[in-house]
A = this chain, B = another copy of it.
Amino acid sequence: MAPTPVNHQVRLAKRPEGAATREHWQFTTEPVGEPADGGVLVKTLSLSLDPAMRGWLNDAKSYIAPVEIGAVMRAGGIGRVIASKNPDFAVGDTVYGTLGVQEYMLVPKEEIKRSGLAKIDLRAGTIHQWLNVLGMPGMTGYFGLMDVGQPKAGETVVISGAAGAVGQTVGQLARIKGCRVVGIAGGQAKCDWVVKELGFDACIDYKAGAAAVRDGLKAHCPKGVDIYFDNVGGEILDAVLARLARKARVIICGAISQYNNANSMPAAGPRNYLSLLVNRARMEGIVVFDYADRFPIAVAELAGYLKDGRMKSKEDVVVGLDTFPEALNRLFSGENFGKLVLQVAEA
């Protein structure tokens, strides 16, 4: 084995009130140890940057514990096993796991399960597709749409954050299932891509203003919205609520527009929620971890669509661990175009 390398890490220095900036992070280095019996050492290749990460910085009850002050920032990612004393993992294996924002992760035997370490098959998709359509965003989109949304052919599905990681999976999957698909995204370039490349029936540019969103929904959803997959919350959620069809399903996956509010609470709730009453509709939250047992089924189906060309994927790759603070904020400004990935090392 080569001499022990140095591990560069990004740790949470203090909790942000609004957006997290460089002052909230601490850059540390420490030597990388060797795995003890049953453990493995993983070299980080690429990390997934997700809107949910902002929530983990708040000291508040949520679906997952907050990141502690001083701890390495939590992040899912793909790495390569470079040392192993565990019979389930061999040097050279490509693995997914909660690696953290760091160059190396030493996983003791008793942490392997908790870190979700699992081998991935690069024949099903590229490393970056494994962080996108075949990873947590894809799983979120798959189970949110299929289990909560329960789409039927001919129904109208609207998706906010349509060009994002979850949105691209949801929209293409809904189309494969025979639905009419309308995206909402920021800017003409994203809208064009969603329609021309991903085959959505239409896409509304929310940056054109609230009236454009309302008019677009009216024009593109003449029979109302049967399923709304919400990644953004705020005014867009309200606009879609106003156009629900009878027995509509609203899937609450996130509220990107609200995550950087000072107290992490939405500035306002959806005023049009009584549309749920008038239309006998439901609004339901999804947390992807609940479906972990069935990830392999979803991966197999989605990998098939990637292979036969019915599904495309787009990743927005930022390079270098030290760019993490600014890279994360691209999610909230809407600067990222496709699934945001932080490449830490070349594969």
Contacts and interface: CB of A to CB of B under 8 A. Distances in A.
A65 interface: no
Given A255-B277, A280-B286, A281-B284, 18 more contacts: A233-B274, A252-B276, A254-B277, A258-B274, A265-B272, A266-B273, A268-B268, A268-B271, A269-B269, A269-B273, A273-B273, A277-B286, A277-B287, A279-B285, A280-B290, A282-B282, A282-B285, A283-B284
A276 B285 CA distance: 5
A262 interface: no
A62 interface: yes
A315 interface: no
Contacts of A252: 273-274, 276-277
A136 to B, nearest CB: 15
A72 interface: no
Number of this chain's copies in the complex: 2
A189 interface: no
Interface in A128-182: none
A270 interface: yes
Contacts of A285: 274-282
A61 B253 CA distance: 28
Nearest to A265: B271
Contacts of A61: 278
A34 interface: no
Contact of A273 (B278, B282, B283, B290): B283
Contact of A282 (B272, B277, B283): B283
A276 B233 CA distance: 13
A265 B241 CA distance: 13
A281 B287 CA distance: 10
A322 interface: no
A147 B255 CA distance: 29
A200 to B, nearest CB: 24
Nearest 3 Cβ contacts at the A-B interface: A269-B269, A277-B285, A282-B284
Contacts of A238: 269
A286 to B, nearest CB: 7
A219 B274 CA distance: 29
A291 to B, nearest CB: 10
Contacts of A281: 284-285
A238 to B, nearest CB: 7
Contacts of A269: 238, 268-273
Contact of A283 (B276, B286, B290): B276
Interface string A221-253: 000000000000100001000000000000011
10 contacts: A63-B278, A238-B269, A252-B276, A258-B274, A265-B272, A270-B273, A277-B287, A280-B284, A280-B285, A282-B282
